[in-house]
């Protein structure tokens, strides 16, 4: 299992747009095959950092998921919404594998 952490730098005055964007991914991501852990908007401290986190079985599964997401009508609409509203300044993805094992 791998977990993708997406680090966003967002426009602080457009946090509401980011939250709408996040809610839409909340519908699309699971439908397209990833296990959505969640999207996180600024609350305390930094007003411009936000995160999206989801897991998949492998990088190959990630590639298939991304292809499905690109074809998803609501996913395409969400990409267009972000492009149009320009509330994301920067977006970085990193993939991690759990090293500690699951807590029981």
* Domain count within the chain: 1
In a domain, 20, yes or no: yes
Q: Does 103 map to a domain?
A: no
- The whole model's pTM is what? 0.90
- Per-residue model confidence as pLDDT tens digits over 8-51: 999 999 999 999 999 999 999 999 999 999 999 998 888 999 99
> 15 lies in which domain range?
2-96
Mean pLDDT of 78-89: 97
CA distances from 86 to 10, 21, 26, 32, 102 (A): 9, 11, 20, 24, 38
Q: Which CATH number characterizes residue 44's domain?
A: 3.30.70.100
């Amino acid at each position: 299992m791998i977990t993708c952490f997406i680090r966003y730098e967002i426009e602080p005055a457009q946090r509401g747009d980011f939250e709408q964007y996040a809610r839409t991914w909340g519908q699309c991501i699971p439908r397209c095959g990833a296990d959505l852990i969640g999207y996180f908007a600024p609350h305390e401290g930094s007003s411009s950092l936000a995160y999206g986190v989801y897991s998949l079985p492998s990088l190959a599964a990630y590639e298939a998921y991304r292809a499905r997401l690109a074809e998803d009508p609501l996913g395409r609409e969400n990409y267009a919404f972000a492009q149009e509203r320009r509330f994301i300044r920067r977006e970085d993805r990193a993939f991690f594998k759990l090293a500690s094992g699951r807590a029981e």
